[in-house]
Structure 1
């Protein structure tokens, strides 16, 4: 883990700027009048960029994002790239997939795993619950995530043959249910970053998974404050979430 805050753009930030350049009108997100940080997309008064730290990790991520998903301030995929240095991000295209993306999936350096629910697998792809050295053949794990709504993710999977050629990392339903019980009831439940935290733990980096979960928790509370959806006196002070995140970072050193 680095000891300095990281304020430079990463792969998801770069994809955000690219997708934004393709838009002919501003993206009409909820809370569009809120003045947001250009990087974390939180309200400037709740910006968390100064707290960002990259983790020491042997894992890599690939985010394949559905159309305007990268433009949404509520998207949590960017939180993965905040912490995991070797993160790649691409827009999904049914007919013309990015050649750079396909090259990464075929690279001798990586062993890709699609993170996807087992019940939606439609062919004989192998399904695993954990990533071990025996699975890797001296390659670096590349965790592939389909970033969008569940309906969009299923469409991406079914319309993309290259996603149907790799092993699938899937979590048992009881594990997801137990995980969800640890969370309050909110619309971010089991977002992309939360699933990524589970995947990181399944790959043997438990403490890094905890850091990502705490980073997500801070993101959720900061987002809710920016929206002013709940009375501020009912919110746990944001400083508590900052401290939980910092403590997790310290433990992961």
Structure 2
């Protein structure tokens, strides 16, 4: 299993980036790919074209159909996409950015819009408190990774990341 963080360049400079925490503590399960609008990552495109990777997404607010937010709520605002289960894919793509930047990345990346999509269904709200403007029901990057690991049966690694996240989130 591999989780790819498609990361906006500004996230690399943010002390509040939880993607870094996952990369440092997930034993090569998580890999960062820097998002470039003009020059998208060829390996990621190949995985999507070969139906070997799925994009974690959800849509909770009344934005245009092409907008993206990563949250725990599910809506049917994008009827062309068939809901998937995570068990179907060994490669998972998560956009690692602020909510506004994630929408921009999704909207400006046609290959992501064509990727198979799946949504997390969680019982809890985000515990992340280091950034403002968190949408209701939204999860930060490491919380998404933790949920993916749990769904994939990697409970020990998920528990380790929960401890690191709690320390980071202070």
TM-score over 0.5 for the pair: yes
Q: TM-score, normalised by structure 2?
A: 0.73
Residue 23 of structure 2 corresponds to residue 74 of structure 1: no
Q: Which runs of 5+ in 1 are unaligned?
A: 1-58, 222-253
Aligned residue pairs, count? 148
Determine which of 111, 129, 136 is the counterpart of 1:186: 129
1:92 matched to which residue of 2? 35
Q: Which runs of 5+ in 2 are unaligned?
A: 61-67, 69-76
Q: TM-score, normalised by structure 1?
A: 0.51
CA distance in 2, matches of 1:219, 1:199: 20
What is the aligned-residue RMSD (CA, Å)? 2.5
1:148 positional shift? 0.7
CA distance in 2, matches of 1:179, 1:207: 21
Instruction: Tell me: higher relative CO, structure 1 or 2? Use CA pairs within 8 A at least 6 residues apart.
Output: 2
1:12 matched to which residue of 2? none
Cα displacement string for residues 178-200 of structure 1 (whole angstroms, at most 9, x for unaligned residues): 243xx3x7225732111111121
2:146–2:161 contact (8 Å) kept in structure 1: yes
Classify 1:78/1:158 alpha carbon distance in 2 versus 1 (closer, same or farther; 3 Å).
Answer: same
2:73 matched to which residue of 1? none
1:125–1:164 contact (8 Å) kept in structure 2: no
1:127 matched to which residue of 2? 83
Residue 160 of structure 2 corresponds to residue 211 of structure 1: yes
Cα displacement string for residues 19-77 of structure 1 (whole angstroms, at most 9, x for unaligned residues): xxxxxxxxxxxxxxxxxxxxxxxxxxxxxxxxxxxxxxxx2011111122112122110
Q: Is the helix fraction higher in 1 or 2?
A: 1
